[in-house]
Amino acid sequence: MPKKTILKQILIWRAKHISKRQFVYLLSIIIGFASGMGAVVLKNLTHFIQHLLEGKLVKDYHHAFYFLFPIIGLTLAYLSIKYVIRNKVSHGIPSTLYAISKRKGLMKPFQMFGSILTAPLTVGFGGSVGLEGPTVATGAALGSNISRMFHMNQTTRTLLIGCASAGAMSSIFKAPIAAIIFAIEVFSLDLTIASMLPLLLASLSAILTSRFFFGSDVILPFRIEDKFYLADAPFYIILGIVAAFVSIYFTEVYDRIQKFFDTIGSPIKKLLIGGIGIGLLVFLIPPLYGEGFDVINNLIVGNPEKALENNLFQMDLTNIWNVVLLLTALMLFKIIASGLTFGAGGVGGIFAPTLFMGSIMGFCISKIINNSGLINTPISESNFTLVGMAGVLAGVLHAPLTAIFLIAELTGGYELFVPLMITATISFSITKYFKPHSVYNMELGRKGELITHDKDHAVLTLMDIDKVIETNFMILNPNMTLEQIIQKAVIKSKRNIYPVVKKDTQKLEGIILLDDLRPIMFDQSLYNNVFASDLMQKPPEVINLDKDKMTDIMKKFQDSSAWNLPVKKDGKYYGFISKSKLLTAYRRQLINLQDQS
């Protein structure tokens, strides 16, 4: 039976037997399962590659191979993108945010498998990035295409993308509540009863899938043993402040490296520069290889020496200040290694590098405090390592609730809830002041294309400018006489405004209103003596289609009090936007956004 016939029968059956809301619940379970499977495939492929590579060759001659492996992996990823996928595979979560903001939640089919092919090659061969972003992108693309296949509207499609993202995070970390909060915070989903149940179902479906394949194994197998004492609160405040500056450093370095690679036109040059750069860093600092969860786990259990063994300078690791110095250098270079991996064309995420840097920062702060001689009772180094991860995560991702609940769930309890809240809140507040947009959405934020929890801004962002532009206006040229204006424009047009445009350049010179013509339009003595250039006036505002976003357009109408404003594109006259049509489109989009049923 043809595929379209089967789908049609499913849609007919659905319309007859279950409501749209029930069908959304069913789809959320399916999408959660698909996201969980995507996480399983990505993780297994990556670990399989690492298992093949990290054998006797690496143990005996690790320096040479640590230099070569990232370059080989990035080259294989580049070849896969060029000859197999044949489309650009963008960073996971930013590409999903772009699809929601500018493509009505529509993601191309290749995005369902693009990251699965390229991320294991990048990370498995030593690229210093994580798998969380690619897993979310894979799940989001699955959610988008499944919802498109069943003819879901834009609002439902966005919700199902959020379900896929929650499912992906739930499967990776086995933290279903944090996964739901992640989808709400990062993708700016409205938290309503209608949206909560699909998110819960997707997160539950994904974690059951993950447990079926991986059992009870978790990324951070640690349970809290040390309690939080009120006397430690000032130290957690210090931790939050330091986490904020680490987050700012992370965001700034990442942004500068990406801008540097954006100036390089050739993908081959990017591959060579980034590949050699990451190869050298991993060669000199082996702990930068891959995601880095082994380093995190060693720090949590208080075993930094294992993470730093075979260090380049052969420093004495029994000296605590040598350990702090080496770990600080490792933290500072991690984001450089990640930026080079992305710049070279690698596919991965920044979630793991964020946790990596946060764990080192928290561990170092606790070591410094405990060895400073300022306190009698030592603070918990494992707790500070865990809370440090939450602090940097809250600052870099601008997702404090995700950071709090993720660490709380990973550690199997809420003993650290108060210090997590203190550190995450301080880190997020300070970072937000200096960096208004997170790493995920800084580019969209600068362009004004980012969906936010601000309902008005979200509606304006989702509106399609092209659909509110009208082009059926009678165009005048500056040399037309009053008689020509009346005969060719006023008599034939139902409009009361006429654009004056130069023929040769198509540049807008001005506008003529019907009110400007009424006092003289019946005085025939002026027919050949008055020209369009004499009657035209400058419009109160001009909309530039090349750079003005919907928020800018609405502000121009508000400031000018005009009912019609001309539009130019590429410097040429393009049409008009009327306030009435704009407000009608706004109202329609607002209704669509609120329609969660």
> Would you state the pLDDT for residue 462?
59
Query: Is the domain of 281 the same as that of 413?
Result: yes
d(CA 152, CA 149): 8
**Residue 225 resides in a domain:** no
**Residue 220 resides in a domain:** no
**Residue 224 resides in a domain:** no
Query: Is the domain of 516 the same as that of 446?
Result: no
> Would you state the pLDDT for residue 453?
47
Cβ neighbours of 436 (radius 10 Å): 12
| Confidence (pTM) | 0.77
**Residue 414 resides in a domain:** yes
Domain termination site, one of 395, 421, 451: 451
Query: Is the domain of 195 the same as that of 236?
Result: no
Q: Match 């969860």 to its residue by tokens.
A: 293
**Residue 222 resides in a domain:** no
Query: Is the domain of 427 the same as that of 407?
Result: yes
Query: Is the domain of 399 the same as that of 503?
Result: no
Query: Is the domain of 439 the same as that of 468?
Result: no
Domain termination site, one of 403, 419, 451: 451
Is 400 exposed, middle or buried, given 0-12, 13-18 or 19+ CB atoms closer than 10 A?
Answer: buried
Query: Is the domain of 293 the same as that of 380?
Result: yes
Tens of pLDDT, residue by residue, the chain (597 residues): 455 577 777 777 777 778 778 888 899 999 999 999 988 899 889 888 888 876 655 555 555 667 788 888 899 999 998 888 888 877 667 777 777 777 777 888 888 888 888 999 999 888 888 888 888 888 888 888 888 888 788 778 888 888 998 999 998 888 889 999 988 888 776 666 677 889 999 999 999 998 888 766 666 666 777 788 888 899 999 999 999 999 999 999 998 998 899 888 888 999 999 999 998 888 888 888 888 888 888 888 888 877 776 666 667 777 888 888 889 999 999 999 999 999 888 888 888 899 999 999 999 999 999 988 778 888 988 899 999 999 999 999 988 999 999 988 887 767 888 999 999 999 999 999 998 878 777 655 554 545 544 454 555 555 667 778 888 888 888 888 888 888 888 888 878 888 999 888 889 888 888 888 888 888 888 888 888 888 888 888 888 887 887 778 888 888 888 888 889 888 889 888 888 777 777 777 666 655 544
d(CA 157, CA 462): 13
**Residue 169 resides in a domain:** yes
Cβ neighbours of 528 (radius 10 Å): 11
**Residue 254 resides in a domain:** yes
Q: Are 137 and 115 in contact (CB under 8 A)?
A: yes
Query: Is the domain of 380 the same as that of 446?
Result: yes
Q: Are 366 and 381 in contact (CB under 8 A)?
A: yes
Helix 351-370 with 233-262: angle, nearest 10 deg: 140
Q: Match 């001009």 to its residue by tokens.
A: 542
- Rg of the chain, C-alpha, whole Å: 29
Boundaries of domain holding 568: 458-594
CATH number at residue 572: 3.10.580.10
> Would you state the pLDDT for residue 251?
92
Work out how many domains the chain is built from and give that number: 3
Per residue in 490-521, is it b (16+ CB within 10 Å) or e — as a string? Answer: beeeebebbbbbeeeeeebbbbbeeeebeeeb
At residue 334, the 3 state secondary structure works out as helix
Domain termination site, one of 425, 451, 477: 451
> Would you state the pLDDT for residue 456?
47
Residue among 416, 439, 406 at smallest CA distance from 219:
406
d(CA 132, CA 577): 43
Is 466 exposed, middle or buried, given 0-12, 13-18 or 19+ CB atoms closer than 10 A?
Answer: exposed
Query: Is the domain of 208 the same as that of 249?
Result: no
| Run of H or E including 509 | strand 508-513
Q: Are 156 and 24 in contact (CB under 8 A)?
A: yes
Query: Is the domain of 405 the same as that of 477?
Result: no
Query: Is the domain of 342 the same as that of 419?
Result: yes
CATH number at residue 120: 1.10.3080.10
Query: Is the domain of 245 the same as that of 345?
Result: yes
**Residue 221 resides in a domain:** no
Per residue in 336-349, is it b (16+ CB within 10 Å) or e — as a string? Answer: bbbbbbbbbbbbbb
> Would you state the pLDDT for residue 240?
96
For residue 290, the Cα-to-chain-centroid distance in whole angstroms is 21
